[in-house]
Amino acid sequence: MNTKTLGDIVNEFQHVPTPPERVHRAASVVEQTNERIVRASNSMLAFDDSPGDFLALLAEGQR
Amino acid sequence: MAIERLSLTEAAGAIARGEVTAVAVTERAVARMKRIGQVLNCVVDLDQTEALIAAATADKTRAEGKPLGLLHGVPLAHKDVFYRKGRPCASGSKIRRGFVPETTATVLDRLDAAGAVNLGTLHMPEFAMSPTGYNEHYGHCRNPWNTEYVSGGSSSGSAASVAARLVYGSLGSDTGGSIRHPAAMCGVTGLKPTWSRVSLAGVMPLSWSLDCVGPIARGARDCARLLKVIAGADPSDPTATTRSVPDYEGGLTGDCEGMRIAVPRTYYYDHVTREVKQALDESLATLRDCGATVVETAVPDMALVNAMSHLVLTVEAATIHRKWFAERPGDYADQVLARLEPGLYYPATRYAEALALRAKITTAFLKAALGDAHAIHLPAVSIPVPSIAETTEGNPASIATKIGVITHCTRGLNYLGLPVISVPCGFANGLPLAFQLVGKPFAETTLLRIADAFQRVTDFHRQLPILAQET
């Protein structure tokens, strides 16, 4: 994604005026992280997975 | 022995037995906070008058033969992230300078109810966003072992104050290592409990899904005492677990018999230096002598765990800060903006995916890294404590790399929600080193037992910085 598009997201969608140099700085981190999580989701996320699964895991405790 | 050299539990015992008064202990702590606290830049606000009144009341209560709490008359002070009604709470920021909460954090109410004497608030980086103790608005917190070196952060004032024997214990908060970094770097013990073990009501949020409140104190026994007091269900925080709170001190058997300790040799040793490796190896040998069996394990994709942790933290923090980003960007340090702003860009679906996959990824980590062991032994910080100059001067890329190395062994564990304790285990260049122990959800008793057994046969947590030896 180019930085202009990311700049539009932060300036227009998020309503946070952000100069291009700060958009550029964030972009390098965001693009890398986003891609890694997309790949993980594609391979790991099942239809019935939900955030509640983590609470259930904690509820199991030390078992 | 000088009273400041007592541990928290020793001080509580001495006060309860009438061997020393709460007023004497508090006066000593106040004097040290004024004198040494200034050198370390670790004190934000000292409530001297109220503390001495509370201490006098504690002595009167004892003299009347009334029941005493677990922390009766013990002076404590805490990271400036916990709200106390009517007292300013800036959380290390310019934005919240002058903010006066109308409620008190549940954890502070519980400490008060247990008889603790509140001395005031302690240094932290802006909105808890530095692992070193860096704060552009209020200056660096300094390491008591060498004031040219970082204290670690973000519970910087908590660890520095405990290490310098200003207070007997302190609460910190941990979203990516903020209890463990400073505890490790200052040579004290820090416990990040399981997510949900301790109420977050009245605590300045950084990331609701990752934030944990926990104790920093000299040893594991002191942490056990503090955790017992602060843990438990809270109507003001629906995310706090209703699970019963164990008798953590009762679980300190003094040995590691039957304990299996896992050591994953991949990822966590990527940046470990020779001095740190030697201290870690020696700590494992000591744990074997205490009765533990050490087994080697592996880890899953830790880059993914770190990416998830980063995404959840920055999205939740950006949600909290978005309005101020728009209205007052100049009131943030640039380092803080740089770390939080990425959260504005991620699609909502990525955030939901990170939360939906949390159980699967945590299960995979426990299976690979813990296996059938009771705890995972890891470095706390891969490198010796860096100097303030090393983490602030030079080009931004090299500073960012150094910061990344500091958080290498801590940051992913908050996404997994697991309990972790940081335990002092040596020195390099005159500054402390530490290991971490990670357990299954709610295995705090196990971690404290192992840490306490280690501390019964070592004295790293008892050693005093020269600056703290002043009378």
Residue B64 domain flag: yes
B311–A33 CB contact, under 8 Å = yes
Q: Is the pLDDT of residue B437 over 90?
A: yes
B356–A51 CB contact, under 8 Å = yes
Confirm or reject contact between B398 and chain A (CB < 8 A).
Answer: no
Q: Quick one: angle between helices B302-327 and B358-365, nearest 10?
A: 140
Q: How far is CA A51 from CA A4, A12, A62, B317, B319, in A?
A: 33, 29, 20, 18, 18
Residue B316 domain flag: no
**In this structure, are strands B375-379 and B431-438 parallel, antiparallel, or unpaired?**
antiparallel
Which band of pLDDT confidence, cut at 50, 70 and 90, is reported for residue B471?
low
Q: Which two tokens stand for residue B399?
A: 């500073």
Residue B167 domain flag: yes
Q: Is the pLDDT of residue B449 over 90?
A: yes
DSSP letter at B387 equals: B
Q: Which two tokens stand for residue B118?
A: 């509140």
pLDDT digits (tens, 9 = 90+) for B192-242: 999 999 999 999 999 999 999 999 999 999 999 999 999 999 999 999 999
Q: Is the pLDDT of residue A61 over 80?
A: no
Which band of pLDDT confidence, cut at 50, 70 and 90, is reported for residue B143?
very high
- Interface TM-score (ipTM) > 0.85: yes
pLDDT at residue A50, as a whole number: 97
CATH of the domain at B416: 3.90.1300.10
Residue B314 domain flag: no
pLDDT at residue B466, as a whole number: 96
Output the average pLDDT for chain B: 97
Q: Which two tokens stand for residue B460?
A: 């790293």
Residue B285 domain flag: yes
DSSP letter at B65 equals: T
B357–A44 CB contact, under 8 Å = yes
Residue B325 domain flag: no
What average pLDDT does this structure show over A26-36? 95
Sign, CA dihedral B100-B102-B106-B111, equals: positive
pLDDT at residue A63, as a whole number: 47
* Angstrom distance (rounded) from CA B375 to CA B259: 8
Confirm or reject contact between A47 and chain B (CB < 8 A).
Answer: no
pLDDT digits (tens, 9 = 90+) for B296-306: 999 999 999 99
Confirm or reject contact between A57 and chain B (CB < 8 A).
Answer: yes
For residue A53, the chain B residues in CB contact (below 8 A) are 356, 358-360
Residue B310 domain flag: no
A51–B355 CB contact, under 8 Å = yes
Q: Is residue B225 within 8 Å of B258, Cβ to Cβ?
A: no
Which band of pLDDT confidence, cut at 50, 70 and 90, is reported for residue A1?
confident
Domain count, chain B: 1
What average pLDDT does this structure show over B241-250? 97
pTM of the model: 0.98
Which domain covers residue B381, as residue numbers?
Answer: 11-303+353-469
Residue B80 domain flag: yes
